[in-house]
A and B are shown apart, each in its own frame.
Chain A
Amino acid sequence: MITLSKLNKTYGSQRVVNEASMAFEQGKITAIIGPNGAGKSTLLSMASRLTKLDDGAIRIANVALQDWDNAELAKTLSVLRQANNVNMRFSVRELVAFGRFPHSQGRLTPEDENKIDDALAKLDLTLLQHKYLDQLSGGQRQMAFIAMVVAQDTEYVFLDEPLNNLDIKHSVEIMQVLRRLAHDFGKAVVIVIHDINFAASYADNLVAMKQGKVVCQGSVAEVLTEQQMSQIYDIPFAIHDIGDKKVCVYFG
């Protein structure tokens, strides 16, 4: 369990995150949604220690963030940001192997090799493992980075816009992997996501933000109401039940 209480972040005179509190549970996918500039990515990078917070408190597995040793925390929490420009020529397998760094400091054990094979298999990259990253499509490259996070095998996984610029097939595959990580392996997966229908279909919990504040949070059913969505995005929303899924229609 990760709990955030009353986080604040100010850039210059702009308050980007304002008294935000929430909790991320194991075994669940939590999606953070909201319009541009709502402070979603800043919140995610504060919760995953990439950005320092101005004030507030973060507790990871009942230990305050500032009491965690950075190297130790890497075995418990992993995070992947959006832009991953790598200057070097890595093969997919070499990239994924970096995920084992917190556990073995670069000297791979047979157990590490197994986890790498496993992560490659989960993201369906086994056949591509000896290809270089610059030979892959954007979607495959994103899969490779997610495989690295999977190989890191942490209790908490944070992903910032994992579906950005991906086609439908890759998006669905990635969301299915994340769902397996949460439901079958009991991890807490936290994603920032723009596509509200993807969030509605795959996430368990939603946190909706606007202008740095948390507007509402809870299960998908609780958060995804026409009134709340219209308020957050400032346009009319219609929400339909199709099969067992909720689908938002906001094309005015």
Chain B
Amino acid sequence: MANRYKFTALLLACCAVVALFIGQGLTLDNYQFFLSRRIPKLLAIILAAVCISASSLVFQTITNNRILTPSILGFDSLYLLIQALLVVLWGTSSVVIAHPIINFLISCAVMTGLALTLFHFYFSRKGNDIFTLLLLGVVLGSVFSSCANFLIMLIDPNEFTTLQAMMFASFNNVNDTLVYWVSLPLVLCLWWLLRSAATLDVLWLGPDNATSLGVNGPKMVKRCMFIITVMVAISTALVGPVLFFGLITVSLTRQVFQWHQHKYLIIASGLLAVLLLVSGQWVVEKVLGFDTTISVIINFVGGTYFLYLLYKNKV
């Protein structure tokens, strides 16, 4: 079957890029130093790639829509607001900014805490639907972003440089210990999604047919939103906001593979995401010689791709 060949090719390409990323320029003398720097970075890229693509895919399923991504819920603005607030209150040299693990814990706790409060409030009401929840998220996101802009205005330009580094996703200053710590919850989330893959397939048929087939749609949506929140919050706090990356990988996966099973789609889009991100990082580092701008490039490319999809009415 054609899908199978494409998948094998993708897998091989992925391995090749990863090997190139890890192995380039290694010698017997320097391998310890390079490996100790490259492995956490690679792990961060892989974790972020897989998380973002899987959460976007599942998000599109539960919203039954092919152009939305969870970033629309305003996580990026909230993340920015948290960082700006920390800088305004305690300055860039304080422990909440300078210490990556503490900063990570604060960001994660606030993001998941707020998202879950919103979900709890929303799902406990009657007659809810997922789009209204999204619109609520978007409105809050826009409020956060106004507040963040106000705080940015107040920040001293010298201190702003630190904040700007956090505004854009980067794999260069990822903390080693942090990467190993977050891999456990992320792998758990991913495992849960893979385990529920067949149930997610049923959601393609719409809520009534899903109920008829014994799937409790609202409960499934609630659980998925929870998992997606955790994944997005962790990956945002880990590498920074990457708005459109999920959109690109999921759309491309759908264009390349004629699958509808989540089991395969999750794996394929994860591989594609790793391939794109690792090769993108490699190109940015080695060819273009940029330092931290990969997320800006991702958003630019992803945004243009989104516009193309809109223009072609392909969504």
Contact = CB atoms under 8 A, between A and B. Distances in A.
In the complex, are there CB atoms of A and B closer than 8 Å? Answer: yes
Contacts of A10: none
Contact of A70 (B204, B211, B258): B211
Nearest to B219: A70
Interface stretch (B12-20, B194-202, B292-300): B194-202
A49 B212 CA distance: 8
Contacts of A48: 212
A77 to B, nearest CB: 8
B213 interface: yes
B275 to A, nearest CB: 24
A87 B199 contact: no
B214 A74 contact: yes
A79 B209 CA distance: 7
A22 B86 CA distance: 65
Contacts of A88: 204, 260
B198 A105 contact: yes
B212 A70 contact: no
B208 interface: yes
Contacts of A86: 204-206
A219 to B, nearest CB: 28
Interface string A65-95: 0000011111101111100111111100010
Interface string B55-69: 000000000111000
Contacts of A142: none
Nearest to A71: B214
B216 interface: yes
A48 B204 CA distance: 20
Given A106-B197, A106-B199, A87 B213 contact: no
Q: Classify chain A's interface size.
A: 20 to 34
Contacts of B208: 45, 50, 79, 81
Contacts of A149: 212
A165 B211 CA distance: 24
Contacts of B260: 88-90, 94
Interface in B198-238: 198-199, 201-202, 204-206, 208-209, 211-216
A139 interface: no
A88 B204 CA distance: 7
B204 A87 contact: yes
A102 B213 contact: yes
Contacts of B198: 101, 105-107
A98 B211 contact: no
B1 to A, nearest CB: 12
B222 to A, nearest CB: 15
Contacts of B214: 70-75, 101-102
Contacts of A49: 211
Most buried by B among A74, A77, A101, A152: A101
Interface string A97-123: 011011001110000000000000000
B204 A74 contact: no
Contacts of B211: 49-50, 70, 79
Contacts of B205: 84, 86, 98
Nearest to A81: B208
A79 B260 CA distance: 23
B205 to A, nearest CB: 6
A56 B19 CA distance: 66
A74 B213 contact: yes
Most buried by B among A72, A77, A85, A106: A106
A80 B212 contact: yes
B206 A101 contact: no
A98 B258 contact: no
Nearest to B200: A106
A80 B201 contact: no
B141 to A, nearest CB: 26
Contacts of A101: 198, 202, 213-215
B46 to A, nearest CB: 27
B28 to A, nearest CB: 49
Nearest to A97: B201
A84 B199 CA distance: 18
B197 A89 contact: no
Contacts of A85: 206
Most buried by A among B65, B197, B198, B208: B208
A99 B210 CA distance: 10
A81 B208 CA distance: 7
Given A89-B258, A99-B213, A106-B199, 14 more contacts: A45-B208, A50-B212, A70-B211, A71-B215, A73-B214, A74-B215, A75-B214, A79-B212, A86-B204, A89-B260, A98-B213, A106-B201, A107-B198, A152-B213
- 8 nearest interchain CB pairs? A106-B198, A74-B214, A71-B214, A102-B214, A79-B212, A81-B208, A88-B204, A101-B213
6 contacts: A50-B208, A70-B211, A79-B211, A85-B206, A98-B202, A101-B202
